[in-house]
Homo-oligomer: A and B are copies of this chain.
Amino acid sequence: TVDGTALWTDILETARIGGTPKGGVRRLTLTEEDRQVRAWFAAACTALGCTVTHDSMGNQFARRPGRDATLPPITMGSHLDTQPTGGKFDGIVGVLGGLAVLRALHASGFETRHPIELINWTNEEGARFAPAMLASGVFAGVFTEQEALDKTDRDGIRFGDALAAIGYRGEAPCGDHPVAAYFELHIEQGPILEAEGKTIGIVTGVQGMRWYELTLTGRDSHAGTTPMTMRADALLAAARIIEAVSAVALAHGPNAVGTVGLLENRPNSRNVVPGEVFFSIDLRHPDDAVVAAMEADLRARIEQIVTDAGIGLEMARVWDSPAVHFDPACIASVRAATDSFGYPARDIVSGAGHDAAYMARVAPTTMVFVPCAGGLSHNEAESAEPGDVAAGANVLLRAVLDADIR
């Protein structure tokens, strides 16, 4: 088993890098805070005898040799970047849980057959550079490296430039080595495990998700002199679309969600009728056919809204991550590991995207979930129990060892 105390100490220690007054973490990808936590990660893994490298997308790999150097590694991983107002656990539990596994192997001197590799993926959150899971996407061949390097944040800074600026643009091409299996430990980020009193979620897949960017074009005009009937108010049209996104999600059953998370109003002055609004839409459902139906429904409503309001519309689908079904053998390893400890568990589909969703395209993959308080995530108050996190790392350890002898 892993050292749960050391794992919890690691969580609290890294939470200081970008720690917020409200007890959360603000550690956007490729910022100074990200650089600091990467250095911490490299030092911690090196201390356990691992070789630490990073590739051309800045993904960090800590490798512990196995008996047979010709075998591809069994990998674990997640991410250390956070949302602007993120918590101490999302992603972090997966990386530091993997570190706890390496520590357990190191302490016992256990020799695995495969090399064991722990990965810290760049830009999982998609908060600074859209879309999410960008660097694992490049690793898995979903995006080309060039398109990823050319992504810009909302200030127009290129991903490639930000990566170089923190010193993590490596020489090794992203995706250069095969992987025997990939396991990712994560908090559930939803309410189900806690509500049902389960310690472990055996993750069978990830729901489908699509992101859109919209620009509405009206006409800047004076708030005091422009009669209501002569306005082309882009924010009013955006308000109606925000309501429509919610209505579409509610109309497609209890598993459908729809969100407007990002919105920029222009020129954003109190006495100017807004002439332009840029915003994002996020649609999700476990069934890809329902995601497609949601999109069709929403597009029809949006057309109606902008036509009625006399507002110009540009709308692009900027991300499409179809539903993922994880590898049965990996799932079996996680189930066997969970049963060996007797942890209360259930099967679960992930509502959030994860690097595992892309790794599943190039390697046998699955995930292990542990509960988080109230299902709250992407919030500074995100919280999880030390015992649950240690249990998740224990399952990760035994699942990896199970896959190693498979």
Contacts and interface: CB of A to CB of B under 8 A. Distances in A.
Interface string A117-145: 00000000111001010000000000000
Contact of A375 (B225, B273, B378): B225
A221 B130 contact: no
A351 interface: yes
Given A263-B263, A379-B221, A126 B271 contact: yes
B268 A263 contact: yes
A207 to B, nearest CB: 7
A295 interface: no
A189 interface: yes
Nearest to A223: B259
A254 B227 contact: yes
A383 to B, nearest CB: 13
Copies held by the complex: 2
Given A236-B243, A263-B268, A377 B225 contact: yes
A130 B282 CA distance: 34
A223 B258 CA distance: 7
Contact of A269 (B127, B250, B284): B127
Contact of A83 (B132, B272, B377, B380): B272
A233 B257 contact: no
A239 B227 CA distance: 21
B84 A225 contact: no
A246 interface: yes
Contacts of A191: 225, 227, 230
Closest 5 CB pairs of A and B: A190-B225, A225-B351, A223-B259, A239-B239, A239-B242
Given A221-B378, A272-B378, 5 more contacts: A188-B225, A221-B376, A222-B351, A224-B352, A263-B268
